[in-house]
Amino acid sequence: MKVNKIFTLSALAIIMIGSLASCSSVSPIKQEQKILFVCGGNTGRSPMAEYLANDYFHFPGSGYIADSRGANVNPQEVMPEANAVIVMQELGVNMRGHRAAPVTQADIDSAKLVLVMTEGHKQKLQRLDPSAKSIYLLSECATGKMIDVPDAYGHDLKFYEHTRDTIKNYIRIIQKNDMKCITY
């Protein structure tokens, strides 16, 4: 009796291990694709876009993760702008933990899409990585039109709300287009 039980348990263990091995080779875990948002200082527009994408539009649930960087980060100003934090809290999104970081070529190369706020940001990133093919103005990707997202830095809450809503509308369009840019 003892021999039969040991043999049965051993056979069961081998079958289970074989099943696990075949499952892992059939359905690998899909890695999230990065969408990188870039503005000037990485304290207002691009972190608002990052947090809207991840927390409001739930990008991670659809296989994407948003990140943000700055084209001209001031190491003395790494905290998110106070008014940006306030207007994001109006939507239930907390971005207080954000810290500004400069964009690198590695950031550009690792992103499926790099979405910038102004034509100047786009030109700077294209100089940083001339071979990059996925750098677009946020408006260009969403609508095909080249429109800079206004910088709210130093403005009142109403201006920040307008900037946030502009970014939110563009992200909504891009998400509805299955994370693909409009191209003409």
Residue numbers in the chain where pLDDT is lower than 50: 2-30
What's the pLDDT score for residue 20? 34
Position 73 scores a pLDDT of: 97
- The whole model's pTM is what? 0.83
pLDDT number for residue 182: 85
Q: Three-state SS for 113?
A: strand
**pLDDT score, position 84:** 98
**pLDDT for res 144:** 95
- CA 101 – CA 98 distance, rounded (Å): 9
8-state DSSP, 151: P
pLDDT value at position 170?
98
- CA dist 1 and 48 (Å) reads 67
Q: Edge-to-edge strands of the sheet including 111-116?
A: 64-70, 33-39, 111-116, 135-137
> Of 136, 144, 107, nearest to 119 (Cα)?
136
pLDDT at 31: 61
Q: What is the 3-state secondary structure (H, E, C) of 3-33?
A: HHHHHHHHHHHHHHHHHHHHHHHHCCCCCCE
Residue 17 confidence (pLDDT) = 32
Q: What is the pLDDT of residue 148?
A: 98
Measured at the CA of 158, the angle between CA 41 and CA 90, to 5 degrees, comes to 85
Alpha-helical regions (H) of 40-156: 45-51, 82-89, 105-109, 119-128, 138-143
> Is residue 33 within 8 Å of 56, Cβ to Cβ?
no
